[in-house]
Amino acid sequence: MFNFCRLLFVYIAFFVTTVGFAQKTNPDSLKVEILGLNDKNQHEQSILVLDRIIGSSSSTAHDLFHAYLLRSLTYKSLYNYTGALINLDLADKVGQGTDFAESASSRVLIEKLFIYFDTKRNEEFAALLQQVTPEKLKHIDGETRAIYECIMGHLEMHKGNYSVANAIYDNCILLLEKESPKHLPIVYKVKVELYNLMGQQDKAIAAYEKGMSYAEQFGIDLYKITMLETIIYFYADNGNYKDAYLAQLEVTKQRRKYDAANRSGKLNDLEKELLQQRNDITLKNRKNMTIALTGVIVLLSALLFLLFKLLKSNKQRRILMENEVVHMRARLESYVNRKEHREEDDNVLLNLEKYDLKKRHIEIIDLIREGKTNKEIGDILFISENTVKYHLKVIFEKLNIDNRSSLRG
């Protein structure tokens, strides 16, 4: 029985291990890890890290939401906006009905707003912008808020409100210097555009150099390309085609190095491979689960069978004991009845006066009660043993008994 229970425990442990327990991933640590890999152009490694979370049965809705959100940012950094939007939809779906649903929907909304702005999908951008409320902005971090404000400054700039836009940009710079200085090229890029529109070319060049210095400091190739593209337009707009051409050559070089299209294609292939692996693992786990459950069912069936046999054996033993008790009670009652009958017979024998017994008969009865044998009785009464036997026969007939034991009192 001990070995059986131990084996059952092993099966249950396997079952629990297979199912797993929900574990919550630290979103801040995960974000630092993934964005750090993306900054180093290690996008495939980012996908592998996130896929382990997405493919794990122990991941919570919270884990999955952040994994999809960060996978969206990974695709966005390679200009794969379709892949980015798909993952944002997945993140939004995971967040629905959870205790962080409002926060999730707000963050997805803002990230989609950024994509529509970058891809100049003006109608979709305008529709989402109307959904942004101060309450929704409470759910985004300082880094994301700075990028959002930067877009608001860009809108003011195109309305001709240059001073308002410049004040917004300066506030964004202060916010990013505190929250995440590696993203400062985003603000200095629009600063170049603003100063160019204001006719302040020197400030525009200074803003470009500032933004490029941050891109080089943090080694983010994507921001280097962004700053170079901005300065190309600046040079061309001011008739400096030579520098514009040189900047274009550098952009081409940087883009070839960054190789966003090829990297994005590799990520798509990697995701397909990971999906296939995950499906294979799922099938294998289902098979193992079936085997484990079958084993547990067999063991439980065996346990139930043993319990049934044990109960049946106990029932049979109980029946035997009850029968033995009945027999003992019957024997006891029989013994008591015999004793009562003997006492009744003794009472009858003691009352000898109502029988027609001679004096010699009474003497013989008294000697029998003393335990004397026929021979001893003959010697005492000076008669032969056969005479004693004769008297006993007469006594038995008169008292209506069968043996001498009935004469003992």
Q: CA-CA distance, 256 to 265, in Å (whole number)?
A: 15
Contact 197, 163 (CB under 8 A): no
Q: CA-CA distance, 362 to 352, in Å (whole number)?
A: 8
Are residue 101 and residue 15 in the same domain, yes or no? yes
Are residue 142 and residue 259 in the same domain, yes or no? yes
Are residue 13 and residue 105 in the same domain, yes or no? yes
Are residue 238 and residue 122 in the same domain, yes or no? yes
Are residue 255 and residue 391 in the same domain, yes or no? no
Q: pLDDT higher for 157 or 329?
A: 157
Give yes or no for residue 22 having a pLDDT over 70. Answer: no
Domain endpoint, select from 258, 281, 304: 281
Q: What is the mean pLDDT of the chain?
A: 85
pLDDT average, residue stretch 157-162: 95
Domain endpoint, select from 233, 262, 281: 281
pLDDT band, residue 15 (cuts 50/70/90): very low
Give yes or no for residue 384 having a pLDDT over 80. Answer: yes
For residue range 238-288, what is the model confidence (pLDDT) as tens digits? 999 999 999 999 989 888 887 766 766 767 776 667 666 666 666 777 788
Which segment of 115-119, 383-387, 404-408 scores lowest on mean pLDDT? 404-408
Structure tokens at 348: 């009858």
Q: pLDDT higher for 185 or 346?
A: 185
Are residue 248 and residue 356 in the same domain, yes or no? no
For residue 320, is it within any domain?
no
Percent of the chain with pLDDT over 90: 51
Which pLDDT value is given to residue 325?
A: 76
Are residue 229 and residue 357 in the same domain, yes or no? no
Which pLDDT value is given to residue 349?
A: 46
Assign 3-class secondary structure to the chain.
CHHHHHHHHHHHHHHHHHHCCCECCCHHHHHHHHHHHHHCCCHHHHHHHHHHHHCCCCECHHHHHHHHHHHHHHHHCCCCHHHHHHHHHHHHHHHCCCCCHHHHHHHHHHHHHHHHHHCCCHHHHHHHHCCCCHHHHCCCCHHHHHHHHHHHHHHHHHCCCHHHHHHHHHHHHHHHHHHCHHHHHHHHHHHHHHHHHCCCHHHHHHHHHHHHHHHHHCCCHHHHHHHHHHHHHHHHHCCCHHHHHHHHHHHHHHHHHHCHHHHHHHHHHHHHHHHHHHHHHHHHHHHHHHHHHHHHHHHHHHHHHHHHHHHHHHHHHHHHHHHHHHHHHHHHHHHHHHHHHHHHHHHHHHCHHHCCCCHHHHHHHHHHHCCCCHHHHHHHHCCCHHHHHHHHHHHHHHHCCCCHHHHCC
Q: pLDDT higher for 223 or 409?
A: 223
Which pLDDT value is given to residue 3?
A: 54
Torsion of CA 278, 282, 285, 286, to 10 degrees: -170
CATH number at residue 170: 1.25.40.10
Are residue 277 and residue 355 in the same domain, yes or no? no
pLDDT average, residue stretch 386-397: 89
Are residue 85 and residue 175 in the same domain, yes or no? yes
pLDDT average, residue stretch 120-148: 93
Structure tokens at 104: 């999730």
For residue 82, is it within any domain?
yes
For residue 79, is it within any domain?
yes
CATH number at residue 362: 1.10.10.10
Give yes or no for residue 234 having a pLDDT over 70. Answer: yes
For residue 86, is it within any domain?
yes
For residue 313, is it within any domain?
no
Which pLDDT value is given to residue 298?
A: 86
pLDDT average, residue stretch 289-313: 85
Q: CA-CA distance, 257 to 249, in Å (whole number)?
A: 12
pLDDT average, residue stretch 66-77: 93
For residue 303, is it within any domain?
no
Which pLDDT value is given to residue 21?
A: 43
For residue 296, is it within any domain?
no
Measured between alpha carbons, how far is residue 203 from residues 157, 199, 207, 371 in Å? 16, 9, 6, 147
For residue range 173-229, what is the model confidence (pLDDT) as tens digits? 999 998 899 999 999 999 999 999 999 999 999 999 999 999 999 999 889 999 999
Contact 227, 185 (CB under 8 A): yes
pLDDT band, residue 400 (cuts 50/70/90): confident
Q: pLDDT higher for 111 or 179?
A: 111
Q: pLDDT higher for 2 or 335?
A: 335
pLDDT average, residue stretch 163-175: 95
Q: What one-letter code names the amino acid at 308?
A: F
Domain endpoint, select from 235, 257, 281: 281
Give yes or no for residue 93 having a pLDDT over 70. Answer: yes
Which pLDDT value is given to residue 169?
A: 95
For residue 175, is it within any domain?
yes
Are residue 239 and residue 157 in the same domain, yes or no? yes
Give yes or no for residue 350 having a pLDDT over 60. Answer: no
Number of structural domains in the chain = 2
Percent of the chain with pLDDT over 70: 84
Contact 61, 95 (CB under 8 A): yes
Are residue 388 and residue 263 in the same domain, yes or no? no
Are residue 240 and residue 121 in the same domain, yes or no? yes
For residue range 318-343, what is the model confidence (pLDDT) as tens digits? 888 877 777 777 777 766 665 555 55
Question: What's the domain range around 383?
Answer: 351-407
